[in-house]
Structure 1
Amino acid sequence: MHINPKFLLQLVEIAERGSFTEAAESLCLTQPALSRNMKELEAQIGAKLLIRDRHGARLTEFGRRALPYAQAMRKSLERISIEAESWQHGRSGSLLIGITPHPASLLPKFLAEFLADRRGVTASMTVSGILPLIESLGRGELDLIIGPVGIEPFPAGIVAKILFTDELALFAGASHPLARKPVIDLDDLRHVRWVGTPSDSLMRRRVASVLSSLGLTEVRHDIVMSGIESALEILETGNHLAVLPRMPARAKILSGGLVELPVALPMPHWSVAALYPEAAEASPLVLDFVHALTERFG
């Protein structure tokens, strides 16, 4: 049995208005056309649905049974329309975000604020190295990545939107012995304990390049942390040094927990970008999220 859903919606309009005349006007149809549609609907269903008399139109007993299903269908179509509009404007759906350790310390507050205005949106955040994240993005397992660029190539068809540029600096806890020295030389740095990111991370490689240019080729990291926030917490104990991006450390410097050491290092720029498929492939939600990121950090 094939039932035309458009005719069911017209049946609902007639039943709720109690009049073919009013229903036809609401539906922008002529009364004869609406009457033909109802006769065809009754033929499709195999049962009479409406009775017309001088008082208007009313449902038959079977029509009253069928009406709730037709109304439910109308409600479902309305919800689909609302969801489609929300999708087009980036107000519903799910975000699968891959992020490297550096910006991961900056994103949670922003993400909470973004979702607060978009109640139909859910998000999950995976923290990892940039190379595994790029592979996941290529397989369609992530919607976008937030991480460093200019170090490793990324696949064709991927857009990189620069969010901000940070710099690496040498940090210590406020109670560390070197924190009070106005001048720090190479010998001071040869005998300290270090905190670093994992050996296979791009951050570790960049830091190794910075320290090597200073003459520190054999640096032993006593503690290895994948998260920048965790490394900053360890630095506050006053027992270690670390080369880290300035931006995540700013709050702890202002609170007095950390100091930036006066060491003339070649501080390379560290650009962080949103990586996502080209506009033709990216969802409206991803583009909305990237736009919000750019407004906040760009």
Structure 2
Amino acid sequence: MDKLLRQFIEVATFKNVSQAANKLCLSQPTLTHNMKKLEENLGVQLLIRSSSGVRLTEYGELLLEQARMMQRIYDNTLIKMDFLKERQERSLKIGTGHAWWHMFLRETFEQHRRQHPTANIHVDLGNHLRLMDLLLSGDIDLFIGHEIQGLNPRAGVSFLPLLSSTDACYVRTGHPLLGRVVHQDELQHFPYLELTPDEPRYQNVMEDMQPKQRERLQLHVTERIHYSTNSIVTAIDMLAATNSILVFPSCMGSYFARFDVRPLNLKEPQRDNMVGIYLMREKVEDPHIMAVLTLMRRHMEQNRHLLE
């Protein structure tokens, strides 16, 4: 808002130039000069000066009424601009696998929302190759997922390790393999259920597909009936309706137990995976991103007993 109008509001409110000058931290001669300048700019007399102070002319009364309205509009505009600035500077676009949302990222979301109630937040759940594609295109700021073996080293991303995760094989209660020790080769006789499978259109982020191909060979994926979905709710329904087997992080056991889905007792140990945060290298020291990572690590540590 124009400084002369702000000063005029104070003079008109106090009806005294000296008191208004004290509040505005100005000298009385400076404020008197500014009021005369405002009158010259408008071409009308606003104030009638006397030894006891000032009173408003008809023009002054009109200007005071309108100036106070402009002051309110201006102040409200500044408040809205601060909200918009907060929303833009503290906005968060994050990707994650289903397991990590349930294990600790949901709490990070809640804490971030409480700290920055005006900020926009978008969470994208899915396969790590799809999330990597979103990261490279700038659609998300970071994502949490398994370390991608064979990733193109020229992608310009950093991987910050968080934890080591072991897989388990989940089946419905009543599955033929449940309740005894199961050998690895027995699994191939049952349908393979894949949650958030790799999509060929996102293989451009890979330099070497052999690690993924070896993984699928070990699971005998091409030799088995294959179900797939990108929804954890749908995967649970598929498990309940079939004898399929879902390979998923063992830390999700308590979550799946709510839906009568149990891990098999496998004789051979399952593979370990490193889970971490992927983000663009240029954002590794971004203060906002670092604050989010600190929140994330804090909630992960609080849930460490569930993740092991």
Deviation at residue 297 of structure 1 after TM alignment:
1.5
**Residue of structure 2 equivalent to 1:192:** 190
Q: Secondary structure at the match of 1:75?
A: helix
**Residue of structure 2 equivalent to 1:79:** 79
Cα distance between partner residues in 2 of 1:109 and 1:115: 10
Distance 1:264 1:273, change over 3 A: same
Distance 1:44 1:155, change over 3 A: farther
**Residue of structure 1 equivalent to 2:29:** 32
- Is 1:115 aligned to 2:120, yes or no? no
Letter aligned with residue 15 of structure 1: A
Structure 2: stretches of 5+ with no match in the other structure: 204-208, 302-308
Distance 1:243 1:161, change over 3 A: same
- Is 1:94 aligned to 2:91, yes or no? yes
Picking from 246, 259, 275, the partner of 1:271 is: 275
Q: Deviations over 1:53-106 (max 9, x none)?
A: 34434441332243224412551465268548x83xx89753333334443444
- Is 1:63 aligned to 2:68, yes or no? no
Deviation at residue 24 of structure 1 after TM alignment:
1.6
- Is 1:288 aligned to 2:291, yes or no? yes
> RMSD between aligned alpha carbons?
3.7
Alignment of 1:182-221 (within 5 A): 182=181, 184-197=182-195, 198-200=197-199, 209-210=214-215, 212-213=217-218, 216=220, 218-221=222-225
Cα distance between partner residues in 1 of 2:131 and 2:198: 17
Picking from 248, 252, 275, the partner of 2:252 is: 248
Moved more, 173-182 or 111-120: 111-120
Distance 1:258 1:217, change over 3 A: closer
Alignment: residue pair count: 288
**Residue of structure 2 equivalent to 1:177:** 176
Q: TM-score, normalised by structure 2?
A: 0.74
Picking from 9, 13, 36, the partner of 1:12 is: 9
Q: Deviations over 1:170-204 (max 9, x none)?
A: 2222311101222x2344223112211324389x9
Letter aligned with residue 172 of structure 2: G
Alignment of 1:220-235 (within 5 A): 220-235=224-239
Q: Secondary structure at the match of 1:52?
A: strand
Distance 1:259 1:150, change over 3 A: closer
Percent of matched pairs sharing the same residue? 22
The 8 Å contact of residues 49 and 62 in structure 1, kept in 2 or not, is answered as no
Letter aligned with residue 164 of structure 2: T
Q: TM-score, normalised by structure 1?
A: 0.76
Deviation at residue 146 of structure 1 after TM alignment:
3.0
Q: Deviations over 1:200-256 (max 9, x none)?
A: 389x99786446347x36442431011345324433456211211122333224775
**Residue of structure 2 equivalent to 1:140:** 138
Moved more, 97-106 or 117-126: 97-106
Letter aligned with residue 193 of structure 1: P
Q: Secondary structure at the match of 2:10?
A: helix
Cα distance between partner residues in 1 of 2:242 and 2:248: 16
Picking from 41, 46, 54, the partner of 1:44 is: 41
